[in-house]
Every structure is written in C-alpha cells, then in structure tokens.
Amino acid sequence: MTSKRKSPGRRTPSTTPGDGAGPRSRRRRTPPLGTNLQPQTVKSDEPAWVNRARLLIVSLAEAIESGARDPAVMARVEMAFAAWELARAKPATVARVAHLVDRAYEAIRATPRPLDDQAVHGCAHILYTGLPMSARENVNFPKIVSLVQALQRETEPWTAVVKTTAEILGWSGVALTHAGHAIRVAMATQVDPIK
C-alpha cells in the first residue's frame, strides 16, 4: 500500500478563520508557545526530560507574560497541570490499588454465574479495606460495590484494571473535567466547525 506524502514545505490550505483568507487575517496573531526560545534554553548534554521541562517552563512564562486570555492556551495550561497532578500519586499507591483491582477482577470472574449480592459485597469489602488511606479518601464503599459490579461485565483484564484503578484514584473525574474544558474551548473558538 502506498501512501501519499506531501512535499516538504507545502501546506494544505486551511478553511479555518485566521489562515490568511478573510477579515481575520489582518489581525496580529500570537506566535505559538515555545517559538521565542533562547538557544541556551535547550542543552544537548541534558537528558530529554530536562529539556522538555525547560521548554515547558519557558512556554508557561511566555503565556503568563503575554497576559492574553486565549482559551486554547488556558486549556493547554489546565491539561499540563492535570497531568502534573495525576503524577503526584505515589507509584506504591498506584501499584497497590492496581494489584487489588486485579485480584478482585480475577476473583469475581472466577466465581460461577450468576453472582449474588453477598458475593459482590464480599469482594467489594476486601477491595475497599485493602486500599491505602490516600485512595480510600477518593471513593466510598457504595462506589466500590458499583465498580466490582462493572468488573463482572468487563471481558478484558487490562482494561478492567486500568479503568477501575483510574476510577478509585479519582483520575477519571479529572480527565473528564479537562476533556469537557477542551471541548468547550474548541466549540467556543471555532466559528463554523462543520463544513
């Protein structure tokens, strides 16, 4: 199968406002974040993550100094902050929760069907009491019961572990909040998204 490749330097014309066609093209456009980087910002002898951190610092400083209230920039800052906050969970906590979820999944899937409420509540109780206190702060017992019920329906073990661990640690809610914000920004900034 052959793929069409654009020749370097050629750009497909865009139909979005501000692309050089129409009344918005006369407005001064804010350069993308990171375009005003000083050569000394990135150092070739540094690890890649250090250079990315430096670029992020410079980009955030540019956003703050510009004072612009660009919804897209604000959304990117919010997403970067959310990613930073998600990473604050200690790996030991994440591993413990994931391990407990995996064991609950195996137990609930190995039990003959149909499961009665006593079996579901028993599995939920073992999962809940095994959670570290920092994880228990994010979720109550009735939520764990509903998560165990959902484990019964999930056919893929890895998907079950990822979804349920994210839910227990509160990551699903954070992701949904930021997805909603990104959608709101996109809808607010696109004049005519359907053509």
Least confident among 95-99, 142-146, 182-186:
182-186
pLDDT of amino acid 190 = 67
Residues 127, 62, single domain; the answer is: no
Phi and psi dihedrals of 63, rounded to 5?
-65, -40
pLDDT of amino acid 6 = 47
Confidence of residue 15 (pLDDT cuts 50, 70, 90): very low
Residues 143, 175, single domain; the answer is: yes
Mean of pLDDT values over 42-51: 77
Mean of pLDDT values over 126-153: 93
What is the extent of the structural domain holding 63?
Answer: 37-67
The stretches of 21-90 forming alpha helices (DSSP H) are 48-66, 71-86
The answer to the question of residue 6 being in a domain is no
The answer to the question of residue 127 being in a domain is yes
The answer to the question of residue 109 being in a domain is yes
Whole-prediction pTM: 0.60
Length of the chain equals 195
Residues 76, 159, single domain; the answer is: yes
The answer to the question of residue 168 being in a domain is yes
Residues 152, 179, single domain; the answer is: yes
Residues 62, 152, single domain; the answer is: no
Least confident among 37-46, 99-108, 141-150:
37-46
Q: Which of 51, 67, 83 is the last residue of a domain?
A: 67
Q: From CA 46, how far away is CA 23, in angstroms rounded?
A: 45
The answer to the question of residue 136 being in a domain is yes
Of the candidates 150, 151, 148, the residue with the CA atom closest to the CA atom of residue 120: 148
pLDDT of amino acid 33 = 47
Q: Which of 49, 67, 85 is the last residue of a domain?
A: 67
Is the per-residue pLDDT at 123 higher than 60? yes
The residue type found at 136 is: R
Residues 60, 87, single domain; the answer is: no
Residues 60, 95, single domain; the answer is: no
Structural domain count of the chain? 2
pLDDT of amino acid 128 = 97
pLDDT of amino acid 98 = 94
Q: From CA 134, how far away is CA 132, in angstroms rounded?
A: 5
Residues 129, 183, single domain; the answer is: yes
Residues 46, 123, single domain; the answer is: no
Give residue-wise pLDDT tens across range 86-112.
Answer: 767 888 999 999 999 999 999 988 887
Residues 130, 52, single domain; the answer is: no
pLDDT of amino acid 172 = 77
pLDDT of amino acid 99 = 95
Residues 47, 116, single domain; the answer is: no
The answer to the question of residue 25 being in a domain is no
Residues 51, 82, single domain; the answer is: no
The answer to the question of residue 119 being in a domain is yes
pLDDT of amino acid 49 = 82
